[in-house]
Amino acid sequence: MDPLKQLFREKALDMRNKIKAMLKEHGEMVVDQVTLSQIYGGARNIKSMVWITSDLDPEEGIKFRGYSIPELRELLPKGQDNKEPRPEGLFWLMLVGQIPTQEQVEWLTLQWTHRSNVPEHVFRTLDALPTGLHPMTQFTIAIAAMQSESIFARRYEEGIHKEEYWSPTYEDVMNLIARLPRVAAYIYRRSFHGSKHIPPDINMDWAGNFAHMLGFDNPDFRSLMRLYMTIHADHEGGNASAHTSHLVGSTLSDAYLSFAGAMTALAGPLHGLANQEVVAWIYKMLDALGTQSPSKDQIRSYVKATIDAGQVIPGYGHAVLRRPDPRFIAQKSFAERNIKHDNIVQVVWDVFEVVPPILESLGKVKNPWPNVDAHSGALLIHYGLTEYSFYTVLFGVSRALGVLAQLAWSRALGFPLERPKSITPEWTERQIANQAQSAALS
Ligand code: HAX
């Protein structure tokens, strides 16, 4: 058994026993209440699942196993240029709860290189699709096509003891993460570069090789990819893509099908597709204003016009966060450090000054601040990755790290089929009438 798998097995067994004992003693403890507004309002803040890999605080933002993004930028082993963390290290941390050493990260890079072979039929499946099909749709199809490789599905068909589910799931998770950059780069090159594909460089780290296969060998872009793949990796369990993979996985669908499901959720404009929407919105604004360097007053009037047209300002607001997203701040600091003058980056920073007070003035927006998607596109454009319909695929490759590490945990802890209760409007009316009657009688 490989050393990471061995460590994961030990940690998971320990946690499984602790949870069993805790539920035996405290299983009936009431920890929260649910209101009708929450049930009708998209289940905001209803505690309904356990997520090991990360936790989202409304004020402080995402913490991966207790570590904030600035802490991880310091503590995780970095890329060859010693600038940004290698996402391999974050995966290790999310899976076993320990900051890995440089040697452990080197080992993981090598593992993923060995496991990265993509079966030929996946490329042929992609080749059969129109090049104009949205990259997220291509990505989802390719992931589903790779399900032929699922070790969990094969072992389940053969008949596997449920205590062993975690083991083939771990193998699927490692193989799928290893293969994703190749698949994503293939989609990018066929969609936007006439199918001129670039073979992998087996001497590079996971994110550096991804940048290389996309066609970008600028060391700063590689550094950006390491940061990008690290900060988008996980955002606790309730966000739509993570929750989808959790729900699908709970039926014992394998890692490939669970992750394909997650990607269909990430592809929505209120979630991951917001990164493409931000750039589309900025370009439309520059076009409408007839300038590449709009004043803040011009931006202000365009923001108001967008809202008056009944549309949202993409990249702003969040269902949980109540402060500027630390993932936005990390990207801003990357730009401050590495990019001296850039027009679109400047526009993003001006929008950051203009939008929050306007959203606040509406009196209904719970979080007027930028989220992760407000900044990412401007950085990619700076380095020449301008085809913004591809941006959500980048997000998806990163999101695999968190949701798949969690999938391994879910199988190791023996989490059951997810099956919450729905209600009808008639049930709601009866509930209100019953409570009014009880109040009148008391
Ligand atoms: N622009 C305009 N109006 C906004 C807004 C924005 N950026 N954010 C919220 N609002 C509006 C909502 O549409 C809602 O209006 P109605 O009551 O008229 O329906 C009201 O403010 C209250 O919404 P909320 O409670 O503050 O926010 P929600 O939890 O309902 O929604 C969203 C959170 C992220 C979906 C929302 O802020 C939004 O649509 N933002 C723009 C799209 C976006 O950037 N999505 C990416 C989010 C991060 C992410 O998942 N990345 O992958």
**Is residue 57 within a helix (H) or strand (E), and if so which, with residue range?**
strand 54-57
In the numeric block, the tokens 């008639």 are attached to: 426
39-50 pLDDT per residue, tens: 999 999 999 999
Q: Report whether residue 271 contacts ligand 1, using a CB cutoff of 6 Å.
A: yes
Rounded CA separation 244/255 (Å): 12
Mean predicted lDDT score pLDDT of the chain: 97
In the numeric block, the tokens 């356990």 are attached to: 50
Residue with the nearest Cα to atom 21 of ligand 1?
A: 365
Rg (CA), the chain: 23
Q: Report whether residue 319 contacts ligand 1, using a CB cutoff of 6 Å.
A: yes
pLDDT confidence bin for 11, thresholds 50/70/90: very high
187-232 pLDDT per residue, tens: 999 999 999 999 999 999 999 999 999 999 999 999 999 999 999 9
Q: What is the mean pLDDT of residues 398-403?
A: 98
Q: Report whether residue 314 contacts ligand 1, using a CB cutoff of 6 Å.
A: yes
The fraction of the chain above a pLDDT of 70, given in percent, is: 100
Q: Report whether residue 325 contacts ligand 1, using a CB cutoff of 6 Å.
A: no
11 belongs to a structural domain: no
233 belongs to a structural domain: no
Cβ atoms of 106 and 169 closer than 8 Å: no
25-34 pLDDT per residue, tens: 999 999 999 9
Distance 219 CA to ligand 1 centre (A): 36
**Residue 318 scores a pLDDT above 90:** yes
Rounded CA separation 64/434 (Å): 44
Q: Report whether residue 406 contacts ligand 1, using a CB cutoff of 6 Å.
A: no
Q: What is the pLDDT of residue 315?
A: 98
Q: Let me know if 145 is exposed, middle or buried by CB neighbors in 10 A (0-12, 13-18, 19+).
A: buried
Q: Report whether residue 313 contacts ligand 1, using a CB cutoff of 6 Å.
A: yes
163 belongs to a structural domain: no
Find the domain containing 378 and state its range: 274-388
229 belongs to a structural domain: no
Residue with the nearest Cα to atom 30 of ligand 1?
A: 319
Q: What is the pLDDT of residue 442?
A: 84
Q: Report whether residue 210 contacts ligand 1, using a CB cutoff of 6 Å.
A: no
Q: Report whether residue 309 contacts ligand 1, using a CB cutoff of 6 Å.
A: no
133-155 pLDDT per residue, tens: 999 999 999 999 999 999 999 99
Phi and psi based region of residue 77 (left: phi greater than 0; alpha: psi -120 to 50; beta: remaining): beta
Query: Comparing C-alpha atoms, which of 288, 244, 238, 281 is closest to residue 263?
Result: 244
Distance 104 CA to ligand 1 centre (A): 40
Given ligand 1 and candidates 44, 45, 62, 270, which is best to mutate, with the most ligand atoms within 8 Å of its CB? 270
Residue with the nearest Cα to atom 27 of ligand 1?
A: 319
Distance 361 CA to ligand 1 centre (A): 15
pLDDT confidence bin for 105, thresholds 50/70/90: very high
Rounded CA separation 21/35 (Å): 30
Distance 351 CA to ligand 1 centre (A): 16
* CA-362 nearest atom, ligand 1: 21
Residue with the nearest Cα to atom 46 of ligand 1?
A: 271
Number of domains in the chain: 1
Q: What is the pLDDT of residue 5?
A: 98
CATH number where 293 lies: 1.10.230.10
304 belongs to a structural domain: yes
Cβ atoms of 80 and 220 closer than 8 Å: no
23 belongs to a structural domain: no
Q: Which residues are part of the catalytic machinery?
A: 271, 318, 373
420 belongs to a structural domain: no
332 belongs to a structural domain: yes
Distance 381 CA to ligand 1 centre (A): 25
Bridge partner residues of 7 (DSSP): none
Bridge partner residues of 55 (DSSP): 63
**Residue 80 scores a pLDDT above 90:** no
Cα angle 290, 268, 189 (rounded to 5 degrees) comes to 75
Residue with the nearest Cα to atom 34 of ligand 1?
A: 318
Q: What is the pLDDT of residue 295?
A: 97
Cβ atoms of 410 and 201 closer than 8 Å: no
Q: What is the pLDDT of residue 340?
A: 83
